[in-house]
Chains A and B, each alone.
Chain A
Amino acid sequence: MNNLEVIEDWFRLYGDEVYNFLIYYTRRRDVDDLVQEVFIKAMRGLDHFREESSPKTWLFSIAKNVAIDSFRQKQPIPMDSTAFPLAVNDETPDDLLEVEEEKQELYHAIQALNEEYRLVILFRALKEFSIAETAEALGWSALKVRVTYHRALKSLKKILGQREGLA
């Protein structure tokens, strides 16, 4: 396989996953350009890709950096509630509505976390990366992943508790 075939293959396999991650991380829906940048950068760096790391972890690492780069280039982005569309309508059963509200509240609580906490929650909890994969994707030590994830969950619990108290 030449480099083009490898990247096309990875795009087919992980394109939508990267797309979803970028939506959550950037809080925007219009992240197509960022997805493109991720795979272009992967193409450029493929010769230096270390095969001991998995393509998926590597691509997510690039995605994280591309997103950070976009934060620096643009003004702070207001939270986009359309990034989290819920299929809720008048006919939605009450129990389902409750579940969806719960998810929506959780989504907003995640977005209220600081940068590191948000990243580790997205990788460990949402994308279900292992500690080693998260460490690799974020360029952190395994210890930092464990500690930060633990603190992030505590912080998330606190935010949810506070919101509940306000309700």
Chain B
Amino acid sequence: MKKSRSEKDIVDTIRKLPQKHKLSPESREHILTAIRQEYEGSVLRTGRSRQSSRKSPVKKWKAPLVSGLAMGFVVLIGFTLWKSAIVPPMQTNKIAATPPHTAKKEESSHTLSTPAPKTTKDPTQTKPKTSINPHKQSFSLNHLQSPISDIKMVNDQVGWLQAGNQILSTQDGGKSWQNVTPKALGSQTSQGSSQPKAEFYDAKNAWFAVTSMSGSKVYHTQDGGTTWKATPINDKGMIGGPLTLTFSSANEGWLLLQGDAAMGSMFVSLFNTRDGGTTWDLSLIHI
């Protein structure tokens, strides 16, 4: 190899690497036969000819547009109802009376002064805290960066809320909220086509699946959001984002990851944990 090759030289050489391998005529015929058999099988299964279902431009955009508008409307209504039901009148008045620039200042000072949740390497060594973290500060729902996408009340006092990349918890029936978002998330946004997914199991246990530049991770708290442990998912770069995260017990959970954002929901991989999210095993890939 010549010395001090530039990156451009390297790319040029890569482009000259041989790519002239060809399928043998036998292999080609074999594959075509398999394709035809698959087609005939599918026709038999569906009982109808699978004529190309290419949609007209109008049809192609109509369904996603209508469903998108409907979803946006539902989220808007849900957020409005939620605000009116949960935010106490006094707090609402206070927020309304606060000039925008002051509100912004409060928000940034909150970000700086709020102690970030501690991340420990092994949550089993962390004593679960049953009381409200005294360091946690109240968080106004007006400061949410995204619309509320999920909420679960564990009992009449304790509950969780997800808004995009943020996780909040309440210990007083929604009168006040604390930002318990995993510190490691910072301000990064989801890179996948789908938003992070949260599973709020009980007052202490919650999981949060996030796909970012560095891949997919599932965060787990065992102490109501004070500390989170992140477990990377071996998704081999299939970073479409999490579709579903669900737990049937504190140990048994399932995570459905979207393989390729460009493919819509065609590529999905299902991961399973039997130890509360410490390890995740690939269960299946479906295309």
* Chain A residues within CB distance 8 Å of chain B: 1-4, 6-8, 11, 15-17, 19-20, 23, 29, 32, 35-36, 39-41, 43-48, 50-51, 53, 57-58, 61-62, 65, 68-69, 72, 84-86, 102-103, 105-107, 110, 115-116, 119, 121, 125-126, 128, 135-141, 143-144, 147, 153-154, 156-157, 160, 163-164, 167
Select A139's contact among B28, B260, B285, beta carbons within 8 Å: B260
Instruction: Flag if B32 contacts A11 (CB, 8 Å).
Output: yes
Q: Given the known A-B contacts A35-B31, A51-B60, A139-B237, are A144 and B213 also in contact in the complex, defined by CB atoms under 8 Å?
A: yes
Q: How close is B193's CB to chain A, nearest CB, in angstroms?
A: 8
Tell whether B145 is near chain A: CB-to-CB under 8 Å: no
Select A36's contact among B13, B31, B39, B50, beta carbons within 8 Å: B31
Complex CA distance for A66 and B23, rounded to whole angstroms: 18
Tell whether B89 is near chain A: CB-to-CB under 8 Å: no
Interface size on B, residues (CB 8 A): 58
Complex CA distance for A110 and B51, rounded to whole angstroms: 42
Instruction: Flag if B14 contacts A126 (CB, 8 Å).
Output: yes
Complex CA distance for A167 and B1, rounded to whole angstroms: 9
Stretch at the interface among B4-12, B116-124, B161-169, B198-206: B4-12
Inter-chain CB contacts under 8 Å: number? 174
Complex CA distance for A69 and B267, rounded to whole angstroms: 12
Question: 14 A-B contacts, Cβ less than 8 Å apart?
Answer: A3-B42, A8-B32, A11-B32, A20-B21, A32-B31, A46-B52, A47-B53, A61-B262, A72-B282, A102-B2, A106-B14, A139-B239, A140-B239, A144-B191
Q: Closest residue of chain B to A7, judged by CB?
A: B35
Instruction: Flag if B23 contacts A19 (CB, 8 Å).
Output: yes
Instruction: Flag if A3 contacts B262 (CB, 8 Å).
Output: no
Question: B44-72 vs A: 1/0 string, CB under 8 Å?
Answer: 00000111111000001000000000000
- Which residues of B (164-221) have their CB < 8 Å from a CB of A? 191-192, 213
Instruction: Flag if B213 contacts A143 (CB, 8 Å).
Output: yes
Of the candidates A2, A4, A69, A139, the one having the most CB atoms from chain B within 10 angstroms of its own CB is A139
Q: Given the known A-B contacts A137-B262, A140-B237, are A3 and B1 also in contact in the complex, defined by CB atoms under 8 Å?
A: no
Instruction: Flag if A102 contacts B1 (CB, 8 Å).
Output: yes
Instruction: Flag if B287 contacts A41 (CB, 8 Å).
Output: yes
Select B17's contact among A50, A115, A126, A144, beta carbons within 8 Å: A126
- Which residues of B (223-265) have their CB < 8 Å from a CB of A? 236-240, 258-265
Complex CA distance for A126 and B127, rounded to whole angstroms: 52
Q: How close is A162's CB to chain B, nearest CB, in angstroms?
A: 11
Q: How close is B49's CB to chain A, nearest CB, in angstroms?
A: 7
Instruction: Flag if A139 contacts B263 (CB, 8 Å).
Output: yes
Complex CA distance for A4 and B19, rounded to whole angstroms: 27
Q: How close is B39's CB to chain A, nearest CB, in angstroms?
A: 4
Select A1's contact among B15, B52, B236, beta carbons within 8 Å: B52
Q: Given the known A-B contacts A45-B287, A61-B260, A61-B263, are A116 and B237 also in contact in the complex, defined by CB atoms under 8 Å?
A: yes
Tell whether B94 is near chain A: CB-to-CB under 8 Å: no
Q: Given the known A-B contacts A43-B42, A138-B237, A139-B263, are A153 and B7 also in contact in the complex, defined by CB atoms under 8 Å?
A: yes
